[in-house]
Chains A and B, each alone.
Chain A
Amino acid sequence: MTDILMPALSPTMEEGVLAKWHVKAGDTVSAGDVIAEIETDKATMEVEAVDEGVVDAILVPEGTEGVKVNSPIARLKGEGGTAAPTAPPAEQPKAAQSKDVIAGASSDDPRAARDQGQEEARERQADPGAKSPPRADEGAKPPSSASSPLSPDEEDRGGAFGSSSSGGDGGEADGGSPIAARIFASPLARRLAQQKGLDLSALKGSGPHGRIIVSDIEVAKPGAPAAQPQAAPPPASKPQAAPPAAPAEAKSLESLGIPPGSYDLIPLDGMRRTIARRLTESFRDVPHFPLNMDLEIDRLLDARKRINGALESRGVRVSVNDLLIKASALALKAVPEANASFTPEGIALHHHADVAVAVAIDGGLITPIIREAENRSLADLSTAMKDLAERARTRKLRPEEFQGGTFSLSNLGMFGIRSFSSILNQPQGCILSVGAGEKRPVVRGDALAVATVMSVTLTCDHRVVDGAIGARWVQAFKGFVEDPVTMLA
């Protein structure tokens, strides 16, 4: 008997969402088979089987949030192995969460305090925005229950009024799983929701006493995952991704006079939570300022035409944005003080220009990184960018492909935006916002002329990039863009 553990997709990953199972209990797997998909803040990764054997039990249901790295997610039975007693499916992630609560309420439970509790507490400090606060009923849980003679598992069941977990919100009694806040829904509605990948907790019931009935399912859009663990839902109707559950109505809106029912509530997925948290922190905590400059890009456009002519036989088409990535990287090499990060220990001056490029995807944005952009040929850079952007849209990027850039570039020119200033992508010191290239009147000598002009804005973290440094960077960038040949120097 082998436990399959929640893998770490990056060195810093502590937990993730079990987005999708590709196997069910009873399936035979061999090493290398894709068995599950794990979703972190920004990516969905496939998990491959390391051993071969028969899946004995799925321990963590699809759609479960906050699954700890290294916690068992499934059990594999080797040849001739005996079946393990059926594990309580929904409990793994919730156990962790409720232990967190128990640890906070009382230190009598040694296991809770020592193991999960501490871990969770650490994590909460590190990542305060990622979890919704415990509900009132958790807070009100009397400390005595934590020191009751129940086994930890039983306690988990008692205290498992899951906070941010969607694991048990279906409240289905079938699997003997603990019932979270009870959801009133007809049996058929529950089953249809599961088949369609709907989260019942996100729906409003139109039946008697607000009961969720079939017609509510029929009008609901698939989005949130089925909250109910199930060994083998029909594959055709399985949800693609598994964003976490959301309450059916936003309490904060009601208190502001926006009544429930007057809007659709889209549950927050990992990406949205991350965007909200990180950008709020950045905008609030980092002293930032913008620097604007207009660039003439006729020569850049001309250069692009000639480059593409040369690359045609190789099937590569360099975009204006690719050229801007290259120019940014070279400008960072020319003004290395701008390629910097603020840390409490000191200013980190990065050796390479790892340029993160904002890519809009369904449900958010992500910034895949062109590493060492200063050293890459345009053809190579362009090919790499195309591949990254494509995989970003299907959320198939590996964490190292979007984490750890030193500078960001965001281009809204295709929407006709003339100029804007982005919010810094911490811990990077600068982010460049690129507007649309358009024909504008320019003054040459004392005469008016027409040129293709593009406005750019560099947002700087004043802790590392002062006004003069930023201005020098923009100047250097302008030099490369307006006279592309100098990029070869």
Chain B
Amino acid sequence: MDFDLIVIGSGPGGYTAAIRGAQLGLKTAIVERAELGGICLNWGCIPTKALLKSGEVFETMSTHAVDYGLSVDKTGFDFPKVIERSRKVAKQLNSGVGFLMKKNRIEVLAGTARLETGDPAPKVVVALTAGGSRTVQAGAVILATGGRAKTLPAIGLVADGDRVWTYREAMTPPAFPKTLLVVGSGAIGLEFASFYRSLGSEVTVIEALGRILPVEDEEISAAAQKALEKRGLKFRTGAKVTGLSKDGDGVSIALEAKDKAETLQAERAIIAVGVQANIEAIGLEDLGVKVDRGFVVTDGHCLTNVKGLYAIGDIASAPWLAHKASHEGVHAAEHIAGKDAPPLKAPIPGCTYTNPQIASVGLTEAQAKKDGRKIKVGRFPFRANGKAIASGETEGFVKTVFDAETGELVGAHMIGGEVTEMIQGFALAMTLEATEAELFATVFPHPTMSEAMHEASLDAYAMVLNT
């Protein structure tokens, strides 16, 4: 046996699993065909946050400076420099992962992996980037090959890398698009829409479902649309894309909404209609790995139906979030190392870094009702929060959903400034199985926007203080 553990894919799920495995004394190797850190660090979460920050600062300078009593004579941006900053951030983190691998004595196999039958886990055949191949056998294999932007070729929703982009091209465009169409109003679509809008693009977001951010609570979706429209974004909800064509120098997308058809035109289009798992050419079919609707099927310990083979992150179902992947990675590594842990069940928070930001954990109000729960719902607007007023961030609110019978916090939803930094408070409460009583009893520091979390909890029990 060459290794105790081989991890395929070095995204946030894979590299975290490798570190945890190494910490637990497993001789560990990681296979990566591209950059260490995967999409998240290199082409996803992190570089987009760099872009969004540039956009936000610019928008604040150009539009809101006067609100703060500041005067700015002239504002402008250097688009290539904005992109360059984002790339520098990605590069820094990428080399950080390399350092972590070295520190934990994890062997990095640069190449593309393919699985073959083996014992006690599938054999891993690595076609090395440097040429040649190497076959390694480990006690266990964790598949963490991630996902990529979903395309819908049937209606022409395929990226060409020139005028029709996925997140990948949208992150490093050669020129700034003055008009933009975004297909899909999930986190990825809206973040790019928010970014390009902050720099002045005319952006229209197309959503097939009836509301934007369809996975979020309905009230949050409505508030988000209102807030983004105020910033000049345009939306087409309940609009089905029927075709995409390139004409002249731009892109046309044909829509059908409530028996009204229209065609929207823009310089560029971004396709952000979801994620599909990277399950191809790994040898899953030969091994008989169970796959359902394009995602690998796993149990509560991330085990697939094949002995010794685990799957984590995007490849093993939604939500397609880095922190879900790394959480599963740690769990899988511990399971392989023989640590006894209950199956995964912690609620996974979701964050969208638009302006305003959106964050949530647990069930939406509608989901809780559908579960047959009797619920208590609390809300608190940031316009009644001192810190928010002082910061000029009065947009948005916090919403809590409690089980009326047990007091369990079953969901929390926020929209507003820096709410992505606050949602972990509710996530922690849920993981610790808190009830309303503990949220009431917790002291929230003043003045912070987090006080709205306290108030929203109190409000669910008609005990709100500051409205």
Which residues on A are within 8 Å of B, measured CB to CB?
Answer: 174, 186-189, 191-192, 195, 206-207, 213-215, 234
Contact = CB atoms under 8 A, between A and B. Distances in A.
A217 B307 CA distance: 32
B437 A213 contact: no
A260 to B, nearest CB: 15
B342 A191 contact: no
A204 to B, nearest CB: 13
B435 interface: yes
A187 B438 contact: yes
A188 to B, nearest CB: 4
B299 interface: no
B433 A206 contact: no
Contacts of A189: 433
Contacts of B405: 195, 234
Contacts of B108: none
Residue in B405, B433, B435 with the greatest tally of chain A CB atoms within 10 Å: B433
A387 B138 CA distance: 72
Contacts of A191: 406-407, 435
B432 interface: yes
- For the residues of B in contact with A, the DSSP-based class is loop
Contact of A206 (B342, B432, B438): B342
Contacts, number: 30
Interface in B386-432: 405-408, 432
A187 B433 contact: yes
A346 to B, nearest CB: 62
B46 interface: no
B331 to A, nearest CB: 13
Please report whether the interface of chain A is mostly helix, strand, loop or mixed according to DSSP.
Answer: helix
A206 B438 CA distance: 21
B334 to A, nearest CB: 13
B342 A188 contact: no
Nearest to B408: A188
B434 interface: yes
Given A187-B437, A191-B435, 19 more contacts: A186-B432, A186-B433, A186-B434, A187-B433, A187-B434, A187-B435, A187-B438, A188-B406, A188-B407, A188-B408, A188-B433, A188-B434, A191-B407, A192-B406, A195-B405, A195-B406, A206-B342, A213-B433, A215-B342
Nearest to B434: A187
Contacts of B406: 188, 191-192, 195
Contacts of B433: 186-189, 213-214
Contacts of A174: 437
Nearest to B342: A206
Contacts of A214: 433
B403 to A, nearest CB: 9
Nearest to A195: B406
B372 to A, nearest CB: 16
A195 B406 CA distance: 8
B347 to A, nearest CB: 12
A234 B404 CA distance: 12
A231 to B, nearest CB: 15
Contacts of B434: 186-188
Nearest to A192: B406
A7 B405 CA distance: 34
Interface in B421-467: 432-435, 437-438
